[in-house]
Structure 1
């Protein structure tokens, strides 16, 4: 770690060899033994003052974690009698997954805290270029997504608890909001029911508390309230959940929109417009909902299936068994109700008050209409027209 150029070169090379390392083969059967030591050894590479090294470290972690399941298989040593000596050693080493993930999040949270202040050397160096920051956000989201999609329930609960506890005490900084929203996206994709249960109610209470203290001032304040902006940002990400899980919180969701959709502050109304688009997409789009490496049960007692034997293995095309979320009638009805309440109301305001509205109010209204239109695009029937033949 004291020689960053040497470290980045080595990690870049290792990244291209990850499948050979994690997969059981006759040519290199002991590769899996090195997986946990490698994962633990690269964690110091997550360094807020060297973003290039951090990106390369995340790329390496992503390359390995997309090929393995994060499950403690150590108990398989006592329940199975068909394990080779190498498999026994690998199973025992998987007991360190919780330590690895705990330390990974400690370093991620420390990096976020550092980047959110003006004291970070990396922030000063890259102020004129946001590309590196954007890349870190993408890589971080990918790493956490790989972990939560292919980990045991016990490890997921630990991750969810760490993220929700951090969000509850975090002070908003726009510089690193993408890093945190990436964490939310990851756990939301794995288990929207549990994530909404812990986060959406918490965010709703925080928003209500802020607005009840100074509702009129916030609505007309062009400077914005940092805590409210952050709560709305989280809310915008949470409504990306599967539509059937959002139906349960329909009253809460509509209440937040009713109270916050007329805020004049630019960042706030842009977030609310994006939230409207996200909600309508969640309620009307067909999308895959399972991203796991294997369809087998990866939980204990490992009698019928041993997760480490699936590490790095390819999947037959006809055995993919991709699962999709298809919107049901309740979701479509919710989307239509939302459009009727908010889109038609905004159109009415524009028609009746277009000469009386300020530029800020007009822009807020048009921004909301733009995002609602994009969000409900899949529900709009195709425009019928006559077929035209092209002639030379």
Structure 2
């Protein structure tokens, strides 16, 4: 085994300087034997196979190119093992076969990067005559892609297969993206094999960047974006949690890279568009339908299912869009929240939606929601027929509005100042509630408020190459989809606490934390366990909130 590692490093750091041709047949024969295929021979030990796989793969990648026959031997090796890649063949050997693909493409991508990028002079770089050609890269991808595609449907090793497809798509997206998209669209309506759809969807997040990004060699992937987004929306239903999870993961990956901007008017203002760009621009008219349908489905899920299967990541990314769509989203979410009451099962997800919209447009959201929320809390406290402060069972309506209140005070500090009296009133009324969910909500509200008022934090951190609000005459958003960003060009805007914000935070701390400390100091023995826990929880969250003051 140590010899394998030695030969692997020898080949890697001397690419092109050693003639491996006389030993290729023997090398590949030994590799085939190490796969432990069920052909009547005694299988090799598990540890040996796992130990040597990365070294063997690196060795093979180092031997590719320079006019050698290594790629042909690699094709023959895959041809000999093709039937064993099929998902219907089960056994320990499949782990080695799929791992072999992944361990091949990883060093191959690294070698391409090594040979194409300018590296420090002390790093080994193969001589130009020994480097991989464009044809070598294409041949390598063609050699492996079919086996990577078959591996996608092996549920036990889908992670390795998905990562292998990701690396291959980096090398040649035009050879990887279309076949995978074709398989996906065929699987959407396949009622006999519903598992195929889920497995392909698990593969998509890794190749989304290659789908949405324009390159000199491949830009057709952008034509799939809106079709893909609209096609998988029906998968957000309450009947299959795994399908919901992978669908949201794919949408999350897309919306992180694609701003939702209707570019259809660009075909009338620009004369430099390619036919593909015209098709993509026209397809962006579907963004409004997507957003509306997406939110309707999410609201429906909130109403009928618990939030454990969801994450607010997609909600966070769907706001990377123009003002028209932002207003649509705000109106729908505000309408959904107004007068609604949510149980503990869905509060987490609804709170995530509020957290996002309050970050995007705090002034408008506070204007519509904060006074209304504070009024609801005050009415419940004033009209309660029982001693609600000491009610250990709590009030579900009050608890929800306190959770909503705790999310609203996450808004930027300067936008909260005009609501100072209203905010302080809520804390004065609810600070002594002993119901656990309620006092945890009010404690979190204290932490969020203090952080909003006193912390230094970014208020505009979208990574964008261009100002997406400009006229399409000067910039075209679809050309920025998925593009890399030069961090030196970023102009991140930060929140710096003002004197008024610091004064508000200090007043809040002086008003509430000392009262709690005095309560514990003077009446600790007379307090119930729940009251002591409430007081300690509040002190803890206030301390965390003002830690940087």
What TM bracket, shorter-length normalisation? 0.7 to 0.9
1:278 is matched with 448
2:541 is matched with 371
- 1:215–1:349 distance in 2 versus 1, CA, 3 Å: farther
- 1:66-105 per-residue CA deviation (whole Å, 9 max, x = no partner) reads 0011011111222222222221211111111010011111
Q: Which has the larger radius of gyration?
A: 2
Residue 185 of structure 1, aligned match among 355, 367, 376: 355
How far apart are 1:200 and its partner, in Å? 1.0
1:163 is matched with 333
Structure 2: how far apart are the matches of 1:360 and 1:61? Answer: 43
1:129 is matched with none
1:120 is matched with none
SS at match of 1:283: helix
2:343 is matched with 173
Residue 408 of structure 2, aligned match among 234, 238, 262: 238
The runs of 5 or more residues in structure 2 that have no matched partner are 1-187
1:203 is matched with 373
1:143 is matched with 314
Structure 1: how far apart are the matches of 2:520 and 2:358? Answer: 36
Residue 252 of structure 2 corresponds to residue 252 of structure 1: no
SS at match of 1:289: strand
SS at match of 1:17: helix
- 1:215–1:315 distance in 2 versus 1, CA, 3 Å: farther
Q: CA RMSD in A?
A: 1.7
Residue 320 of structure 1, aligned match among 487, 490, 506: 490
Q: Which has the higher contact order (CA 8 A, sep 6+)?
A: 1
Residue 4 of structure 1 contacts residue 53 of structure 1 at CA under 8 Å; is this kept in 2?
no
Residue 298 of structure 1 contacts residue 307 of structure 1 at CA under 8 Å; is this kept in 2?
yes
Residue 359 of structure 2 contacts residue 411 of structure 2 at CA under 8 Å; is this kept in 1?
yes
Residue 247 of structure 2, aligned match among 49, 57, 63: 57
How far apart are 1:216 and its partner, in Å? 5.8
What pairs with 1:18-167 in structure 2 (closer than 5 Å)? 18-116=208-306, 134=308, 136-138=309-311, 141-148=312-319, 150-167=320-337
Residue 390 of structure 2 contacts residue 434 of structure 2 at CA under 8 Å; is this kept in 1?
yes
How far apart are 1:300 and its partner, in Å? 6.1
Residue 260 of structure 2 contacts residue 322 of structure 2 at CA under 8 Å; is this kept in 1?
yes
Residue 137 of structure 1 contacts residue 178 of structure 1 at CA under 8 Å; is this kept in 2?
no
Residue 465 of structure 2 contacts residue 480 of structure 2 at CA under 8 Å; is this kept in 1?
no
- 1:313-342 per-residue CA deviation (whole Å, 9 max, x = no partner) reads 100121122222222221111111100000
Residue 458 of structure 2 corresponds to residue 288 of structure 1: yes
Structure 1: how far apart are the matches of 2:390 and 2:438? Answer: 11
SS at match of 2:384: helix
SS at match of 1:47: coil
Moved more, 233-242 or 343-352: 343-352
What pairs with 1:353-364 in structure 2 (closer than 5 Å)? 353-364=523-534
Moved more, 28-37 or 58-67: 28-37
Structure 1: how far apart are the matches of 2:258 and 2:409? Answer: 29
- 1:61–1:348 distance in 2 versus 1, CA, 3 Å: same
Residue 175 of structure 2 corresponds to residue 4 of structure 1: no
Structure 2: how far apart are the matches of 1:295 and 1:207? Answer: 44
2:44 is matched with none
Residue 263 of structure 2 contacts residue 285 of structure 2 at CA under 8 Å; is this kept in 1?
yes
SS at match of 2:310: helix
The runs of 5 or more residues in structure 1 that have no matched partner are 117-132, 380-392
1:342 is matched with 512
Residue 224 of structure 1 contacts residue 265 of structure 1 at CA under 8 Å; is this kept in 2?
yes
SS at match of 1:9: helix
Structure 1: how far apart are the matches of 2:435 and 2:219? Answer: 59
Structure 1 segments of 4 or more deviating over 3 A?
1-4
Moved more, 46-55 or 259-268: 46-55
- 1:16-60 per-residue CA deviation (whole Å, 9 max, x = no partner) reads 111111111222222111110100001122122322211111110
Structure 2: how far apart are the matches of 1:105 and 1:169? Answer: 18
Structure 1: how far apart are the matches of 2:367 and 2:222? Answer: 37
Structure 1: how far apart are the matches of 2:255 and 2:458? Answer: 20
